[in-house]
Amino acid sequence: MKKYLEEIRKLNQLQYSVTQEKGTERPFDNAYNDEYRDGIYIDIVSKQVLFSSKDKFESGSGWPAFTKPIDENIIETKRDFSHGIIRTEVKSVEANTHLGHVFDDGPDGNLRYCINSSSLLFIPKEDLEEKGYGEYLYLFDS
């Protein structure tokens, strides 16, 4: 992805492994598993908005889990047969960033998007306007 080459160069070793080589970070040892402030999660490479904290839940898996993306059109899924199991990989459409996997065992019959923190950046609600994401403040209206 030539468009995002500069952003990819800024990634640390783990972020590169996860986003570009379909790696996985260690469970319970990542930045956002225990993050529960209001805010949005964006693709670390493209800065495209992916998930809202309103759809985040504690899955017990050790990785951030969401019931859905903000917009279904910003992600794509692909069958993943690696590691001797069948899973569904989740990637961002814009930068083709590997995010994690999606499973059908979420709460109340929803999906569970199990996402690597290393593929994300979190922007707290109070910083959305300043960081250029003010249009997403509506997500946090009561």
Beta pairing, strands 56-57 & 112-115: unpaired
User: For position 87, what pLDDT does the model report?
Assistant: 82
Give me the CATH number covering residue 73.
Answer: 2.170.150.20
Residue 139 belongs to a domain: no
The answer to whether position 104 is within a domain reads: yes
Residue-level pLDDT at 79: 86
The Cα–Cα gap between 40 and 51 comes to: 6
10-residue mean pLDDT profile of the chain (142 residues): values are 88 98 96 97 98 97 97 92 81 96 93 97 98 97 78
Is 140 domain-assigned? Answer: no
Q: What is the pLDDT of residue 1?
A: 56
In a domain, 15, yes or no: yes
Print the domain residue range for 72.
Answer: 2-133
Domain count of the chain?
Answer: 1
Which residues form the catalytic set? 114
